């Protein structure tokens, strides 16, 4: 999660058109955005730690009775975590409301970022033909 003290999360996507993350499939990845949310929550968790707020660790969901469920993954845990709605014997815990007001993302935080082309949709007939040709070529040449 921490990259040379800069404090952001890296998400590595495989460079393969056969990867499930590039395709929506109800039986496999109904909640495919979970990995993006998970890494974003790590950033908020780190900010809360820097500001000395008490909060549960993101990976401790089982400690509080949550499960990684089929199709929705850890959606209930993440929702309660973000809304400070995790029931404990000493009251409700989760991310503090104030954390959403600290360290907003700015363009300067992403100086070395680049746009991912995997989600780009064809915008005209030429791009559509090129995409079809690339898929055919990939299928036969691997």
Reported confidence tier of residue 1, pLDDT bands at 50, 70, 90: very low
User: Is residue 125, in this structure, part of any structural domain at all?
Assistant: no
User: Is residue 122, in this structure, part of any structural domain at all?
Assistant: no
Mean pLDDT, the chain, rounded, equals 77
User: Is residue 133, in this structure, part of any structural domain at all?
Assistant: no
User: Is residue 86, in this structure, part of any structural domain at all?
Assistant: yes
User: Is residue 65, in this structure, part of any structural domain at all?
Assistant: yes
User: Is residue 136, in this structure, part of any structural domain at all?
Assistant: no
The predicted pLDDT at position 87 comes to 94
The predicted pLDDT at position 3 comes to 46
Q: Considering its fold, how many domains does the chain have in total?
A: 1
Condensed to tens digits (0 to 9), the pLDDT of residues 56-100 reads 999 999 999 999 887 788 889 999 999 999 999 999 999 999 998
- Least confident range of 3-7, 46-50, 70-74, 125-129: 3-7
Condensed to tens digits (0 to 9), the pLDDT of residues 28-46 reads 555 557 777 888 898 889 8
Residue range of the domain that includes 99: 20-116
Q: What is the DSSP string of the chain?
A: --STTS--------S-TT-GGGS--TTT-SSTTHHHHHHHHHHHHHHHHHTT-----TT-GGGGT---BTTTBTHHHHHHHHTT-EEETTEEESS-GGGGGSS---GGGGTT----GGGPPP-SHHHHHHHHHHHHHHHHH-
């Amino acid at each position: 999660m921490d990259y040379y003290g800069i404090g952001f999360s890296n998400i590595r996507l495989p460079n393969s058109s056969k990867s499930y993350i590039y395709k929506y499939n109800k039986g496999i990845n109904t909640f495919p955005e979970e990995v993006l949310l998970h890494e974003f929550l790590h950033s908020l968790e780190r900010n809360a730690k820097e500001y000395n707020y008490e909060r549960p660790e993101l990976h401790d969901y089982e400690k509080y009775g949550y499960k990684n469920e089929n199709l929705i993954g850890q959606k209930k845990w993440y929702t309660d975590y973000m809304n400070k709605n995790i029931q404990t014997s000493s009251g409700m815990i989760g991310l503090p409301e104030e954390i959403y007001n600290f360290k907003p993302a700015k363009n300067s935080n992403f100086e070395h970022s680049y746009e991912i082309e995997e989600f780009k949709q064809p915008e005209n007939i030429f791009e559509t033909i090129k995409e079809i040709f690339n898929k055919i070529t990939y299928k036969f040449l691997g």
